[in-house]
Amino acid sequence: MLNRKVKGFSININSDSQAVLKALTKHTTTSKLILDCHKALQALSKSNRVTLKWIRGHNGNRGNDAADELARQAASLRVAGPEPIIPIPLEYKTWLHKQTQASHSVLWSKTKECKHTKEAVPVLNPRLATKLLQLNRSKLRTVVGMITGHCPLNKHLSILGITDSPLCRACMETKETPIHVMLQCNGVAEQRAAHLGSSATLHEALGDLGGLLSFWSELGWLE
C-alpha cells in the first residue's frame, strides 16, 4: 500500500497472531521485524485510517486462509541467502556472549600495550561501558580522553607537535597527563578535593563520572 501510494482510505488489517498485535502496542521492542512493521504502519497511517484487528485462525476467513496458504507455499521454497537460515537459539547466543567476554578478558589481561588505558580500566567493565554510552558526545569525548590519555593536555599536545612543553600548566613540575592532574598535581588540589575526593587511582576516579566531568569543567583546560 505504501508503494502504491494509497491515501485517504479506511484500512482494516486482520491477523490471527495475538503475539504480533500485542508486540505492536508496546513502546519498546528487540525485534527488527516488529520495528520495521511498526514503522510501516506509522507511515501508512499518516494518510489513512488504519485499524488492526485480531481474528480467530482457521475459522473460514477468506483472507486469513489465503495468507496461510501463501505461507505454506513459501515454506516449501528453497531459501536463498546466508547460512544459517534457522535463527540461532537463545541458549547458544547466551553461551556465545559469555565465551566472547571471556576471550576478550584474557586478551585484555595479556596485552602489553595501552598502558594508560589499562591503568584506567584494569579489567573489562560492562557497567562503565553502559554509563559511557549514556553520555552526550561532548562528555563522552572528555571521559574517553581521560581513559586513553589522548586529550588536549600538554603531554599529548607536545607529542603531536602542537605545544612546545609537556609540563603541567598548574605546577610546572612534571608532564601534564590525566593521571598527574586528577591524582597528583598540587596546583589543582582544591578543585580535586571538591570534585574527585580522595581517589588514589584513575580507575577509582572513573567510578564517579559526574565528579570527573565537573572537575574538568571547572578547570576549563579541555575546551
In three-state secondary structure terms, 51 is strand
Beta bridge partners of 50: 11
Write down the pLDDT at residue 217: 95
Say how far apart CA 145 and CA 138 lie, in whole Å: 11
Dihedral over Cα of 125, 128, 130, 132: its sign: negative
Fill in the DSSP letter of residue 80: -
Half-sphere exposure of residue 140: CA atoms within 13 angstroms, side-chain side: 10
Contacts of residue 44, defined as CB under 8 A and 6 or more positions apart, other chains included, come to 1, 2, 6, 11, 50
Contact 126, 138 (CB under 8 A): no
> What average pLDDT score do residues 118-135 get?
92
Say how far apart CA 210 and CA 121 lie, in whole Å: 17
Cis peptide before 82 (omega within 30 of 0): no
pTM: 0.60
Contact 23, 31 (CB under 8 A): yes
> What average pLDDT score do residues 54-79 get?
86
Confidence of residue 167 (pLDDT cuts 50, 70, 90): very high
